[in-house]
Amino acid sequence: MRDRSFTPGRILIYLVVTLFAAGYLAPLVVVVLNSLRTNEEIAQGSMIGWPQHLAWGNYALAWSGFCVAETCSGIRPYMLNSALITIPATLVSTLLGAVAGYAVSLWRFRGDNWIYGIVTLGLFLPQQMRLLPWTIVLRDIGLINTLTGLVLIHTIQGLSFTVLFCRNYYIAIPHELIRAARIDGAGFFRIFWRIILPLSSPILIVTVIWQFTHIWNEFLFGVTFTTGQQQPVTAALIALSAAVADIPQHGVQSAAVIIAALPTLLIYLFGGRYFVRGLTAGAVK
Partner 1 sequence: MTNAASTVTQPGRSATSEAVRRLPEYLMIWVPLLLSAAHLISFSIWTIWISFTPSTLIPVSGWVGLRNYTAVLASRNWQIAFDNLLLFGIAFVLLSLITGLLLAILLDQRIRGENVLRTIFLYPLAVSFVVTGTVWSWLLNPGIGIEKLAHDLGWTAFHFDWLVNRDMAIWTIVIAAIWQSSGFAMALFLAGLRSVDADIIKAAQIDGAGPIRTYWRVILPTLWPITITVVVIQLQFAISAFDLVRALTNGGPGIATQLPALVVYDLMFQRSQLGRGAAAAVLMLLILLAVLLPYAAWRYVQRRQANHA
Partner 2 sequence: MPITTTRRRLLAGSAAALAFPAFARAQGAVKPRLTAISQWSAGSDGAAITALGKKFEEKGGIWQHSPVPGFTTEMMNKLRAQIIAGDPPACSQLKGPEIAAWSKIAPTVDLDAVVAAAGYEKVVAPDLAKLHKPAGKWIALPLQIYSTNMLFLSKRGMDKAKADKVPVTWADFNALAEKMKSAGMAYPIANGGTRPDDGQKFEASFAGISPTAYRAAIMNLDKKALQGPEIKAAFAQTRKIADWCDPNVGAQPYATNLKRFVDGDMGMLIMGGWAQGVLKNAGFKFDDYVITPGPSDNSKPVFLLNADAFIFWQRKEADLQAGQMLMAQLVMDPAIQTMYSQITGSIPVRTDVDLSGEGWSDGQRRTAAALKDAVASNQAVLSVAHNMAQENGLTAAMIDVITEYVKNKTIKPEEAVTRLAEAVESSR
Binding site for partner 2 (CB under 8 A): 40, 43-44, 67-70, 131-132, 135-136, 138-139, 144-145, 223-225, 227-228, 231, 235-236, 238-240, 242-248
Interacting partner of 54 out of partner 2, partner 1, none (Cβ under 5 to 8 A depending on kind)? none
What is the Cα–Cα distance from 12 to 242, expressed in whole angstroms? 42
Nearest to 160 by CA among 220, 194, 115: 115
Q: How many CA atoms lie within 13 A of 211 on its CB side?
A: 36
Taking residues 241 to 260 in sequence order and writing x for each that binds partner 1 by CB under 8 A, - otherwise, the string is: x--------x------x--x
Interacting partner of 172 out of partner 2, partner 1, none (Cβ under 5 to 8 A depending on kind)? none
Please report, as residue ranges, which positions from 215 to 234 form the binding site for partner 1 (by CB under 8 A): 216-220, 234
Question: Closer to partner 1 at the Cβ: 54 or 276?
Answer: 276
Which region, judged by CB under 8 A, interacts with partner 1, from 56-64, 71-79, 104-112, 138-146?
104-112
Please report, as residue ranges, which positions from 19 to 78 form the binding site for partner 1 (by CB under 8 A): 20-21, 23-28, 30-31, 45-49
Angle between helices 76-106 and 112-121 (to 10 degrees): 150
Minimum distance of partner 2 from residue 222's CB (angstroms): 10
Is residue 218 within 8 A of residue 154, CB to CB? The reply is yes
What is the Cα–Cα distance from 237 to 217, expressed in whole angstroms? 11
Distance of CA 81 to CAs 74, 87, 112, 148, 258, Å? 13, 10, 37, 11, 17
